[in-house]
Amino acid sequence: MKLLVPVRRESRIALGVAFFIVFVALWSFLSLSGAVPKHFLATPWQTVVSAWNLFATQGFTHDVGMTIWRVVGGFVLAAVIAVPLGIAMGVYKPIEAFFEPFVSFARYLPASAFIPLLILWVGIGEAQKLTVIFIGCFFQLTLMIAMIVSGTRRDLVEAAYTLGCKDTGVIRRVVLPGAAPDIAEALRQVLGLGWTYIIVAELIGASSGIGHMITDSQALMATDHIIAGIVVIGLVGLLSDVLFKKVNQHLFSWSLLR
């Protein structure tokens, strides 16, 4: 192994898959050897069978669909407001001075701690789930985008002014295209954050969703279902992440040039 030298594509994939194998092997050993009782930790095979049953007979597809729609819905709401606000904060320093201290404070408020309040305010319906995701994503996203936009290269801004741009032209033609790849990357990361909040929101007062299925299974001691649910969350999250990355690479191919 040499420092910072990239590996070939084939080796990279092989190494990535290898760790999954190691992980499943360890899991199998712990559950099959009886080191951990089976009703605490289901075996990998049992989990696969349960997952199949969940989808085939217990309408789990609907739960997964509900969870995805809540994450995406709350995330889109957050993004629609956070992106323009973050850009305004990054470009206009008085706006940043006005919002930044509060947003920095609000960022540390755990979204899950709002759940009891939100149930009082907006009930246990979809609005509550969307609001949890919104709170969890919005403040992070706003700060990240403000920081990205603040980092716009000053020399490019100056060049644009000397080429005849006014302020709006500089924002439209220099700040936005320059920040776009990093903003897209921030969106990708915060979407991942949304996935961690949704399950908490669904653990309390939900009648559908992956989190709801997990709470139900806890009451029945169905650890195979719980593990299947967790694995599905991981897979859906990974899939959305890969899709996001592909789209970003396609849209901003210039930023990948070396």
Partner 1 sequence: MSRLSIRDVSKTFPGHKRSAPPTQALLPIGLEVGDNDFITVLGPSGCGKSTLLRLVAGLETPTTGEIRLDGTKIVGAGADRGVVFQSYTLFPWLNVRQNICFGLREKGMKLSEQKEISDRFIAQVGLRGFEDHFPKQLSGGMQQRVAIARALANDPKILLLDEPFGALDNQTRVLMQELLLGIWEQAQKTVMFITHDIDEAIFMASRVVVFSARPGRIKAEIEVGFPHPRHYTIKTSPEFMALKARLTEEIRVEAIAAAH
Q: Which residues bind partner 1 (CB under 8 A)?
A: 155-156, 158-165, 169, 173-174, 177-178, 180, 252, 254-255, 257-258
Helix (H) or strand (E) holding 191: helix 176-203
Cα 63 from Cα 55, distance rounded (Å): 9
Helix, strand, or coil (residue 5): coil
| Least distance in angstroms from the C-beta of 159 to partner 1 | 4
Nearer to partner 1, 151 or 169 (CB): 169
Nearer to partner 1, 124 or 156 (CB): 156
Nearer to partner 1, 120 or 256 (CB): 256
How is residue 174 annotated by DSSP?
I
Whether the CB-CB separation of 61 and 229 falls below 8 Å is answered with no
Cα 143 from Cα 59, distance rounded (Å): 39
CB burial string 6-25: b at 16+ within 10 A, e below:
eeeeeeeeeeeeeeeeeeee
| Least distance in angstroms from the C-beta of 256 to partner 1 | 9
| Least distance in angstroms from the C-beta of 173 to partner 1 | 8
Distances (CA, A) of 133 to 9, 47, 202, 240: 36, 28, 11, 16
| Least distance in angstroms from the C-beta of 151 to partner 1 | 14
Nearer to partner 1, 168 or 207 (CB): 168
CA nearest to 188, candidates 248, 107, 250: 248
Nearer to partner 1, 13 or 159 (CB): 159
| Least distance in angstroms from the C-beta of 152 to partner 1 | 12
